[in-house]
Chains A and B, each alone.
Chain A
Amino acid sequence: MTQIPTVVSVPVPQGLRPRCSEATCLVRSNTPVNGEYRRLVLEAPEAILDCQPGQFFQLLCPAPKGEHPFLRRPMSIYGYDKATGRLEFLYKVTGAGTRGLATLRPGDAFNVLGPLGHGFSMPIEWQNLMLVARGVGLATLAPLAQMAQEKGRKLTAICSARRPELAMSVGLFESFGAEVIVVHDQDGSSTPEALRPLIESRIAQGMVDAFYTCGSSRLLRLLQDLGDTHGIPGEIAMEQQMACGLGMCQACVRSFRVGDRIIQRRVCREGPVFPIAEAI
């Protein structure tokens, strides 16, 4: 019997190790987090756990009843720990792939490919970080909190949601020492108009060297505008429908503004993290 977790064995050039691997993981748990999201925890082989925040895996989702997801589904990493062999994903059930994910039970074998893409950077000049994200985008940014703590950076996390109880990752951000501000649609605190003065007051106090965002085009536009006005750089994790996830198929291209040119980049390969100023 094959031992799980295990990496699919393939020939590699002498002296090199593959940058990413296909691996069979063991499902530890797969449980609802709130009314909308579920958390999948896997026992993964060490070889796939040299991850960076912002990278993703391609998941071979089981087929739910009556549906046939064929392609792998890209999913950003929610958490990872090489020491304990843990890999986590946070997902919202929206289609055939995620409906399949929801059928996984503890003890099931589950095939993943990764880690893939380029993650977030955190250059030394970025001492005071501000993360602004919404919905499942907050899951993508969650590993940043640990990275910020490890590097001794100060992090403010503005977590946006439809209702306050749906704001993701609040406890996780707090556990890594971040200051968390929850904004939501019910009291109107999540609109760009309401966020702008909040963020600008922090900028005025010198509390923002860089932005990170994911999951909302309204937030992207707000941060692009604020970044442009106040000279603050930042990074965004982007999504696009994918087939291979490695860069071969060219399915996941998006347009980016670089100088006065519009260029195409593959989200899986050149991304999924890009400079906020270049995103469209």
Chain B
Amino acid sequence: MKDLHPVDLSAHIGTLTLKNPIMPASGTFSEDLADVFDLDVLGAHVLKTIMHGTRTGNPTPRVCDMQSGMINAIGIPSKGIDHFRDEMLPYWAAFKSPLVVSISAHSVDEFARLCGEVSLPGVTAIEANISCPNIEADGNAFAMRPDTTHEVVTRLRAETDLPLWAKLTPNTGEPVEVARAAEAAGADALVTANTMLGMSIDIGSRRPRLGNVMGGMSGPAIKPIALRMTYQCARACDIPVIGCGGIATLDDVLEFLIAGARAVQIGTATFQSPTVMARLITELHGWMTERGIATLDEIIGSIEAPEAGVFE
């Protein structure tokens, strides 16, 4: 063993220091995972998006398979802010890992009000889900356009002193402009990215495989899209970027870090293998130890120029 240099897995997201860069993606994590491993090993806990009131979510079927991935149209069932404050927050605040609360809303006013209301002791940061494709018709979301992104993030910023992360969407044609709008409006970090709008049809019945017709694609199939967006945003913005999208292996984690991500979120991979996040932390530590890499700074943003053949 070349364990001469102790390895420090700390990830720095603005003013926050996480003990390692591995955290769950919103919507793929709950207290139920504590049945499988010790959740305090995680760099942070990111909860499923809450909305202000109660919501039942979309009709079933809510998920379907696709090649190397899945499509979901869960539709954010929510028990509302009161349930979060009274029931969920005491449970999560007892862990050592910092708590990141994901929020969303239909209108800017409702979003801003919720942001203020969840800024409670025990909450470490707020992730603004401005990119869920399952709330509005045809996958529409604030983060589709720079102007709506700027408007909503400005209002959220005014409501909280907590670190504010903006979760972006790969469905926009203007990812860099949207990222810059979020940064200009005061976001402390970007999460790239949410699911990509898709659909699937059963040819036998000719029915859509999802009750809500369209849904968000996730898993290894969309990893190159999320990686591309992570690279674009890290290059265009000064605030930290957190990679998210199809990450399942140590190689995937390293790819996102090299592209410029300061930490990563693991989502769909947990559905296939609920032990994956715990294993990735151990594997990343082992990989750095073997190579004598002391900190993540030696990896983050270390992407080299392509070895490009030039035609005369």
- Is the C-beta of A249 less than 8 angstroms from some C-beta in chain B? yes
The answer to whether A13 touches B40, judged by C-beta atoms less than 8 angstroms apart, is: yes
Cα–Cα distance between A69 and B34 once the two chains are bound (Å): 26
Most chain A CB atoms below 10 A, which of B34, B60, B74, B272: B272
The answer to whether A11 touches B37, judged by C-beta atoms less than 8 angstroms apart, is: yes
The answer to whether A244 touches B77, judged by C-beta atoms less than 8 angstroms apart, is: no
- Is the C-beta of B28 less than 8 angstroms from some C-beta in chain A? yes
Cα–Cα distance between A12 and B72 once the two chains are bound (Å): 30
The answer to whether A22 touches B65, judged by C-beta atoms less than 8 angstroms apart, is: no
- Is the C-beta of B91 less than 8 angstroms from some C-beta in chain A? no
Which parts of B8-66 form the interface with A (CB within 8 Å)? 27-30, 32-38, 40-41, 48, 56-57, 60-66
Which parts of B266-286 form the interface with A (CB within 8 Å)? 270-275, 278-279
Cβ 8 A contact of A249, one of B28, B35, B40, B65: B28
Cα–Cα distance between A242 and B63 once the two chains are bound (Å): 7
Cα–Cα distance between A70 and B69 once the two chains are bound (Å): 6
B279 to chain A, nearest CB (A): 7
A97 to chain B, nearest CB (A): 8
A64 to chain B, nearest CB (A): 13
Q: Which residue of B lies closest to A11 (CB)?
A: B38
The size bracket of the interface on A is: 35 or more
- Is the C-beta of A157 less than 8 angstroms from some C-beta in chain B? no
- Is the C-beta of B205 less than 8 angstroms from some C-beta in chain A? no
Cβ 8 A contact of B77, one of A241, A246, A264: A264
Which parts of A240-280 form the interface with B (CB within 8 Å)? 240-244, 246-254, 264, 269
Most chain A CB atoms below 10 A, which of B30, B57, B66, B274: B274
The answer to whether B60 touches A19, judged by C-beta atoms less than 8 angstroms apart, is: no
Cα–Cα distance between A13 and B70 once the two chains are bound (Å): 31
- Is the C-beta of A105 less than 8 angstroms from some C-beta in chain B? no
Cα–Cα distance between A247 and B270 once the two chains are bound (Å): 12
- Is the C-beta of A210 less than 8 angstroms from some C-beta in chain B? no
Interface secondary structure of A, over-half rule: loop
Which parts of B212-267 form the interface with A (CB within 8 Å)? 219
Q: Which residues of B contact A118 (CB under 8 A)?
A: none
A219 to chain B, nearest CB (A): 22
Q: Which residues of A contact B278 (CB under 8 A)?
A: 10-11
- Is the C-beta of A68 less than 8 angstroms from some C-beta in chain B? yes
- Is the C-beta of A113 less than 8 angstroms from some C-beta in chain B? yes
Q: Which residues of B contact A11 (CB under 8 A)?
A: 37-38, 41, 278
- Is the C-beta of B68 less than 8 angstroms from some C-beta in chain A? yes
Residues 170-187 of chain B, each 1 if its beta carbon lies under 8 Å from chain A, else 0? 000000000000000000
Most chain A CB atoms below 10 A, which of B68, B74, B275, B278: B275
Cα–Cα distance between A264 and B56 once the two chains are bound (Å): 8
Contacts beyond the supplied A60-B273, A241-B61, A251-B63: 12 A-B pairs with Cβ under 8 Å: A12-B37, A22-B274, A70-B70, A71-B70, A71-B271, A244-B28, A246-B274, A247-B30, A249-B27, A249-B271, A251-B61, A264-B77
